[in-house]
Amino acid sequence: MDDLDIRSLYADGFTVREIAEIDGRHHVTIYRIISDIARPRANPSSTNPFTMRHRARTKMEKHLGYDLPPDKHVHHIDGDPTNNNLSNLEVKTVEDHRLHHWPHKNDQDYIESHRKEYRKEYYANNTEKAKNDVREWRQENREKVRLAANKRYHNTSTRPISICACCGMQYGLNPSSKSKFCSRRCAALNRHRGRNFNGDKT
């Protein structure tokens, strides 16, 4: 599909993403083809940081007359990302832009000290809260958990029925258990009687 077809589809009401699905190319590539006839966005005053960054970059590229390479950033001189006046925009390399906003990027001692302070403050503010949340949950749900566990343990309707090799009583057998006795007491009695698990004399 050539550029004229893409522009005609956009003029007919198709969105950029719909055209990208039809054409098979990335939606950013499609947008660049129709950027001069693009419809206004639903929220042109959006304060989303990615939207504001894109607006500044687009304005600078139109001013310069060429697309900026990926290793170039557009910096807002006064620090206000909503102020996209050309007098407030400046092209910087990625490294210079990072150093401007984070001058201590290569100072490992500074980074480590601030990391320790952040961790100390974070754990001081959140550890006690997490402990209180766990305590409250346990207090509110302790009885529910106990009853549910007892119900699962004593519910023989979903467990196979077996007969104790010692006392002959029926009991619900845990599927993962190989025991032949209904309780530890019966198992101990069977050992003291000198009998094996099958009830035969040794």
Q: How many domains does the chain have?
A: 3
Specify whether the CB–CB gap between 159 and 148 falls below 8 A.
no
pLDDT digits (tens, 9 = 90+) for 45-78: 556 666 777 788 888 888 999 888 888 999 888 8
- Mean pLDDT, the chain, rounded, equals 78
Same domain flag for 59 and 141:
no
What's the pTM value of the predicted model, to 2 decimals? 0.36
* Full residue range of the structural domain in which residue 140 is found: 107-155
Same domain flag for 120 and 48:
no
* Residue in this structure with the two tokens 């343990």, named with its chain if needed: 153
Same domain flag for 30 and 17:
yes
Same domain flag for 92 and 7:
yes
User: Other CB atoms closer than 10 Å to residue 9's CB: what's the count?
Assistant: 19
By C-alpha distance, which of 79, 64, 3 is closest to 35?
Answer: 3
pLDDT digits (tens, 9 = 90+) for 95-138: 888 888 777 766 777 767 777 776 777 666 666 777 777 778 77
What's the average model confidence in pLDDT over 144-167?
74
